């Protein structure tokens, strides 16, 4: 039975407090539970004050079989930021925006290069998704087409060195699948509208609810985040990037990524987001899964 935990972003203190609240004990430096394990949905690094400590907790739990750790977009970005292609260029541009996003991690490892390289190598072993008979878990989006492609091409759901390079080639099927899986589906806002995201960046595309039928939604209702400027009008099929959506009768699926606010809630009986903006003053959230067929809002555990 799993306790699924959302984005941590270097908030090790809250992680330890949440683990204790869930009944895990630290024995010989490793958190464990008598009959449960944790499923982490990614984003362990960047933004927070204790990134090294967070990685140590998550990795040691995974190494001892007490947890499964998935890759988040921040771990993927870090891999690309520190990896070069054959021409010697970094796979992720060292732009001001990207450096600032990765700033806290770089600073906290500035005197521990070997240790950081060890974690970078560990990131390469993180699967992009997990599936059992009863649940699915992914960092941002369980898109049928993307997961099917990754299932066919990844090794044990992980990126190899060669696949990492190929995944950064814009427009390739692998790039599309990785981007959707780790960052979610997006759709352009209508009429040239834009908004400022949590970091102040101006964006013209919204992250959409990939579990809703887009033909039954408006621009406002399909956006994961509440954006007041979005119109309450139907979306034309020609404006929708994909008509495919996660079915309400499918397996329970858990994910993070979306910087939600307030009290944790279920989007549907099989749809559970666990990212409640711990790095922006929000909560670290877990869902205690007990093999139930339909998810229960009372199974959220918050710190």
pTM for the full predicted model: 0.96
The DSSP letter of residue 89 is -
Tokens of 66: 């007490």
pLDDT at 175: 98
Tokens of 107: 């600073």
pLDDT at 202: 87
Task: Identify the segments of the chain with pLDDT beneath 70.
Answer: none
> In angstroms, rounded to a whole number, what is the distance separating the alpha carbons of residues 10 and 20?
17
> In angstroms, rounded to a whole number, what is the distance separating the alpha carbons of residues 270 and 254?
8
pLDDT at 191: 83
pLDDT at 260: 97
pLDDT at 238: 84
pLDDT tens readout for residues 188-222? 998 888 988 877 888 899 999 999 999 999 999 99
């Amino acid at each position: 039975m799993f306790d699924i935990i959302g984005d941590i972003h270097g908030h090790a203190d809250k992680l330890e407090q949440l683990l204790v609240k869930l009944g895990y004990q630290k024995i010989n430096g490793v958190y464990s539970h008598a009959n449960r394990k944790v499923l982490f949905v990614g984003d362990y690094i960047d933004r927070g004050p204790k990134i090294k400590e967070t990685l140590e907790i998550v990795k040691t739990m995974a190494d001892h079989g007490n947890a499964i750790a998935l890759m988040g977009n921040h771990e993927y970005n870090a891999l690309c930021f520190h990896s070069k292609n054959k021409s010697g260029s970094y796979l992720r541009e060292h732009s001001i925006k990207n450096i600032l996003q990765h700033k806290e991690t770089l600073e906290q490892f500035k005197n521990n290069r070997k240790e950081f390289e060890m974690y970078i190598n560990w990131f390469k072993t993180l699967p992009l998704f997990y599936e059992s008979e009863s649940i699915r878990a992914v960092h941002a989006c369980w898109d049928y087409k993307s997961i099917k492609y990754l299932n066919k091409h990844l090794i044990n759901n992980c990126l190899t060195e060669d696949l990492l390079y190929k995944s950064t080639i814009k427009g390739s099927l692998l790039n599309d699948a990785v981007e959707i899986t780790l960052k979610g589906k997006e759709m352009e806002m209508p009429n040239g509208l834009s908004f400022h995201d949590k970091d102040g960046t101006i964006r013209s595309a919204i992250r959409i609810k990939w579990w809703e039928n887009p033909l039954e939604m408006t621009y406002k209702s399909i956006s994961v985040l509440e954006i007041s400027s979005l119109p309450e009008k139907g979306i034309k099929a020609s404006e929708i990037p994909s008509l495919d959506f996660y079915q309400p009768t499918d397996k329970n699926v858990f994910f993070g990524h979306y910087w939600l606010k307030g009290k944790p809630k279920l989007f549907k009986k099989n749809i559970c987001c666990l990212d409640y903006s711990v790095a922006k003053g929000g909560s670290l959230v877990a869902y205690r899964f007990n093999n139930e067929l339909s998810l229960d809002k009372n199974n959220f555990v918050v710190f």
